[in-house]
Structure 1
Amino acid sequence: MAVLKFRAYYEEDEAVYRDVVIKHSQSFFDLHNAILKSYEFDNKHQATFYRSNDNWQRGREITLEKYDKAYKAEPLIMINTTIGSEIRDTNQKFIYIYDFEKNWTFHIELINVSKEESSKIIYPATSRVEGIGPQQYGTRSLLGKRFVDIEEKYDLPQNNEGFSEEGEETGVENNDESSDDE
Structure 2
Amino acid sequence: MAILKFRVYFEEDDSIYRDVVIKHTQNFLQLHETILKAYEFDNKHQATFYRSNDNWQQGREISLEKYDKKYKVDPLIMAETTIGSEVKNTNQRFTYTYDFHKVWNFLIELINVSKEADSRQEYPAVVRSEGIGPKQYGTKGLLGDKFADIEEKYDLTRGAEGFNVKNEEGEDMGIEESAEGYQDEED
**TM over 0.5, yes or no?**
yes
For residue 168 of structure 1, report the CA deviation from its aligned partner: 1.4
- State the SS of the aligned residue for 1:165: helix
What is the rounded CA distance, in whole Å, between the counterparts of 2:36 and 2:100 in structure 1? Answer: 14
Displacement after TM superposition at 1:165 (Å): 3.0
**Which residue is equivalent to 1:24?**
24
Task: Give structure 2 stretches of 5+ with no counterpart.
Answer: 165-174
Work out the number of aligned pairs and report it: 175
Report the secondary structure of 2:32's partner residue: helix
Q: Is the 8 A contact 1:91 1:110 kept in 2?
A: yes
Q: Distance in 2 between matches of 1:29 and 1:141?
A: 31
TM normalised by structure 2 equals 0.83
Post-superposition offset of 1:32: 0.3
Task: Indicate how the Cα distance of structure 1 residues 160 and 9 shifts in structure 2: closer, same or farther if over 3 A, else same.
Answer: same
**TM-score calculated relative to the size of structure 1:** 0.86
* Aligned residues of 1:134 and 1:140 also touching (Cα < 8 A): no
1:100 CA drift (Å):
0.1
Aligned runs of 1:80-119 on 2, under 5 Å? Answer: 80-119=80-119
Q: Structure 1 residues 76, 172: CA separation in 2 closer, same or farther (over 3 Å shift)?
A: same
Any idea what SS the aligned residue of 1:97 has? strand
Q: CA deviation at 1:152?
A: 7.7
1:1-182, aligned counterparts within 5 Å? 1-148=1-148, 160-162=161-163, 164-169=175-180, 172=183
Q: Which digits, 9 at most, give the CA deviation of each residue in 1:43-97, with x for residues without a partner?
A: 0000000000001110000000000011111100000000000000001000000
User: Unaligned 5+ residue runs, structure 1?
Assistant: 177-182
- CA distance 1:111–1:147, shift in 2 (3 Å): farther
Once residues 171 and 131 of structure 1 are traced to their aligned partners in structure 2, the CA distance between those partners, rounded to angstroms, is 39
- Computed over aligned residues only, the root mean square deviation of the Cα atoms, in angstroms, reads 2.6
Which letter does structure 1 place at the counterpart of 2:68?
Answer: D
* Code of the aligned partner of 1:167: S
Task: Give the superposition deviation at 1:160.
Answer: 2.5
Moved more, 113-122 or 72-81: 113-122
